[in-house]
Chains A and B, each alone.
Chain A
Amino acid sequence: MPGDRGRAPEETDAPLPHEDALLAVRAAEGDDQAFEALVHRHAPVLLRLATRLLGSPTEAEDAVQEAFVSAWRKLPEFRGDARFGTWMHRIVTNRCLNLLRSRQPVTALDNVPEPQAPEHQVSPTRAAEAHAAVRDLSRAIEGLSPEQRVCWVLRELDGEPYESIAETVGISQEAVRGRVFRARRYLTEAMAGWR
């Protein structure tokens, strides 16, 4: 797993980066069909990202939709100094971060979770057990602060380097490391029952 980490978001861009750059220029000059092509090329990756960040496919669809609309409006200012995929990644991440912040706090101050023990004692199948663990993990993620959650998801699920996370969310690498550490600390505690 540490092996799959370390990709910058642009490396997960759709193939043919020249094609993206070209489509973005066309779209910036008002070619809506070029923009539609960009939407099709980038929507899958962005939907997966937003679903990871928000934990809800429905909310993720809304977030990605709004991000694309906002991108269309801002494209004339897009000078192509970032790749289109990187730019969209950043717009989606920041939109999700704002959505997470606007959610009502679910838990009270003292929310270090009870270790979740596997509920079943009688030789469950490995698959069922793994499934239950994943479910508990997504529940535990809800206990992270929006900032911790975003940094942790980009690091652990998207496998991004600290450097590009720092750039995406606009904080220092050290701050990203701190948030990822606290998220891990919290989650290992929450998942203690699974060791």
Chain B
Amino acid sequence: MAMNEDGTPRGTAFDGVPEEGTVREEGTVPEEETLPCGRELARVWEQAETDEPDPHTADCPHCAEALRALRALEGVVARARVDEPEERQWDTAALAGRVMDVVRLELRPGRTLALGGDDEDAWIVEAAAARTFRAAVDALPGVRAGSCRVETTPVNTATASAPPAGRLPRGPARVRIEVQVGLSWNLHLVADEVRARIVEAADGELGLRIAAVDVVVADLLDEDEADLLDAADRLDEADRRDEGGPR
């Protein structure tokens, strides 16, 4: 994995910390500890963890005592896990609300695309157009939209007036969309369907002229998963209706 996280370059999470033996707590537990029978404690515990059979350990009272200590600890740990609230009992609504408050101040709207005619000063951000296109594609059974990029290509760069700063020049839009597709689809057919949905949505829901739609099948879904995702789509749709947005 090439990801950094938290701005920490990979593999340095423990850097800057003195190694064992020099740190406050770590020095108090010996690096190696040998039981009176000559076995190393670490080795005895490791064998227990991997269920590796060992005739010595079975009969040795010292090893038995060491294992009893480990088992007793594991017993309390198991109990601690039982005492934890179950996953679904965590209240995540407030947390999600706080996260999204910050996120909405740091939106990434993408490029700004022109709507309507040359004399109109109307625009839509790429993220909003992409959301509309994804929703239109998701409505196809067994199809889910992933990446969706939209850009405009000026019809005639010589005559087109320069767009305001940070905005794409006027002109029909080119859409590139990646889809996950259920196995029962014919891939040519699904590309045509996706294209049709996007052209329809661009005209009917946005008012954006389309020059071309590139459809990339990024992944195939087995039928069970495709069904589940369609069911999830329907739930999302129901949620949206429940929220009372006009349709």
Contacts and interface: CB of A to CB of B under 8 A. Distances in A.
Contact of A36 (B29, B76, B96): B96
B80 interface: yes
Q: Please tell me the size bucket of the interface on B.
A: 35 or more
A102 interface: no
A81 interface: yes
A16 B148 CA distance: 21
Contacts of A187: 73
A89 B3 CA distance: 12
Interface in A165-187: 167, 169-171, 175, 177-179, 181-182, 184-187
Contacts of B103: 32, 35-36, 69, 72
B91 to A, nearest CB: 9
Place the interface of chain A in its size category.
Answer: 35 or more
A29 B49 contact: no
Interface of A: 1-2, 5, 16, 18-19, 21-22, 25-26, 29-33, 35-36, 39-40, 43-45, 47-48, 51-52, 61, 64-65, 67-70, 72-74, 76-79, 81-82, 86-87, 90-91, 94-95, 97-98, 101, 105, 107-112, 130-131, 133-134, 136-138, 143-148, 156-157, 167, 169-171, 175, 177-179, 181-182, 184-188, 191-192, 194-195
Given A32-B103, A186-B29, 8 more contacts: A32-B100, A35-B103, A47-B95, A110-B28, A138-B80, A169-B14, A170-B11, A171-B14
Interface of B: 1-6, 8, 10-14, 17, 20, 23-29, 33, 41-42, 45-46, 48-49, 51, 68-70, 72-74, 76-81, 83-84, 87-88, 90, 92, 95-96, 98-100, 102-104, 106-110, 126-127, 130-131, 134, 144-149, 178, 180, 219, 221, 225, 228-229, 232
